[in-house]
Structure 1
Amino acid sequence: MDALFTSTLVVALAEIGDKTMLLAIILAARFNRPVAIILGILAATLANHFLAALVGSQAAYWLDGFWFRLAVALSFIAMGLWTLIPDRFEDDDKPAASRFGAFTATLVAFFLVEMGDKTQVTTIALGARFENAVLVTIGTTAGMMLANVPAVLLGDRILRRVPLNVVRYLAAGLFVVIGLWMLLALLGG
């Protein structure tokens, strides 16, 4: 249960204000097909995060030991610091006109934009921490959906009301606390 709850909470907070959340808002405005966009986000996230959690859990299986656990703990602290840097959505990141429709455009755009993103790297670290790709994938996907479904349905109205800096600091603090907790457990036990 820790894997599921922690993965959901960490990714939901990290996703707020993230590039993929901004992509969700742009896709919602462009296509005005919220159900197709939400399903595209769900499918892309399941695929992307399962692969990421699998990489993390397999790395933990093969590389288990003090130095690997130290690297995972430090990666959480690094993710906390990275979270403090606000994402910007560049013009060349915007989805081009698509002849395939809202679902396919969302599926492809989300899968590709998520590559190397904070939440994907976090999913790798969570997979390594909990060594359970399925629960981590369910949790991180739930976190992505908790952040992105309101973004799709409410668009930029949500950006005007949610204090993104506060959420960013809260997410950064959570990453750092998890990293420090892992360090203390590693060094103390």
Structure 2
Amino acid sequence: MEALLISTGIVALAEIGDKTQLLSLLLAAKFRKPWPIITGIFVATVINHLLAGWAGTLITQWLGPDAMRWILGVSFLAMAGWMLIPDKLDDDDAKVADSLGVLGATIVAFFLAEMGDKTQIATVALAAKFNELVPVVLGTTLGMMLANVPAVLLGEVAAKKLPVRLVHAVAAAIFAVLGILVLLGGDMVKWLS
């Protein structure tokens, strides 16, 4: 249960102001059909995060617990720093062939936008940390949906009212605490898992 809850919270916070949230706004403004966009976000996220989570669990199997502790601790600290850097939507992520339709365009655009994104890398790290694929992927997907569905439904007005810097600072603090706890090892790591 901890893997699910921590994954959901981290990704929901990390996604605020992220390029995929900006992409959600762009798709909502362009197509004005929220339900195919929401479905496309869900499908692309499940596929992307399933692949990322699978990679994380494979990494856990290949490396010993001591090496994993250091890699994960440093990775979480790096994610904390990365959270403080504002995200921008790449033009390439926003350009999707209209011939795919709303659902197809959303799936392709979202899948490509997630490649190498903070939330994809967080999914790899969380799956490696917890070594539980399904709860992590469910949590990261839920976190993605919690952040992006309101962006699709409420549009730009809601996005402008969110204190993005504060949300990113809170997410960065969570990643930093996780990194420190993992590096310290012992009983504090057991508290997380």
TM-score range, shorter chain: over 0.9
Residue number in structure 2 paired with 1:73: 73
Residue number in structure 1 paired with 2:111: 111
Matched-pair contact (CA < 8 Å) for 2:73–2:180: yes
Per-residue deviation, 1:97: 4.3
Does residue 6 (structure 1) correspond to residue 6 (structure 2)? The answer is yes
Residue number in structure 1 paired with 2:41: 41
| TM-score, scaled relative to structure 1 | 0.96
User: C-alpha separation between the residues in 2 aligned to 1:155 and 1:73?
Assistant: 36
Equivalent pairs counted in the alignment come to 189
Q: Is there any run of 5+ residues in structure 1 with no aligned partner, and where?
A: none
Matched-pair contact (CA < 8 Å) for 2:123–2:137: yes
Per-residue deviation, 1:141: 0.1
User: C-alpha separation between the residues in 1 aligned to 2:181 and 2:6?
Assistant: 13
- 1:154 corresponds to which letter in structure 2? L
User: C-alpha separation between the residues in 2 aligned to 1:6 and 1:94?
Assistant: 30
User: C-alpha separation between the residues in 2 aligned to 1:78 and 1:100?
Assistant: 37
Per-residue deviation, 1:173: 0.6
Residue number in structure 1 paired with 2:171: 171
Identity of aligned residues (%): 51
SS at match of 2:99: coil
Matched-pair contact (CA < 8 Å) for 1:73–1:178: yes
| TM-score, scaled relative to structure 2 | 0.94
Matched-pair contact (CA < 8 Å) for 2:93–2:112: no
Residue number in structure 2 paired with 1:91: 91
User: C-alpha separation between the residues in 1 aligned to 2:88 and 2:185?
Assistant: 36
Q: Is there any run of 5+ residues in structure 2 with no aligned partner, and where?
A: none
Residue number in structure 1 paired with 2:132: 132
SS at match of 2:98: coil
Describe the superposition over 1:73-104 as per-residue Cα deviations: whole angstroms up to 9, x where unpaired: 11001001001000011333312341121100
* Root mean square deviation, CA, Å: 1.5
Moved over 6 A (4+): none
Per-residue deviation, 1:68: 2.1
- 2:24 corresponds to which letter in structure 1? A
Matched-pair contact (CA < 8 Å) for 1:69–1:186: no
Residue number in structure 2 paired with 1:17: 17
- 1:121 corresponds to which letter in structure 2? I
Describe the superposition over 1:116-147 as per-residue Cα deviations: whole angstroms up to 9, x where unpaired: 00000000000100001111000000000000
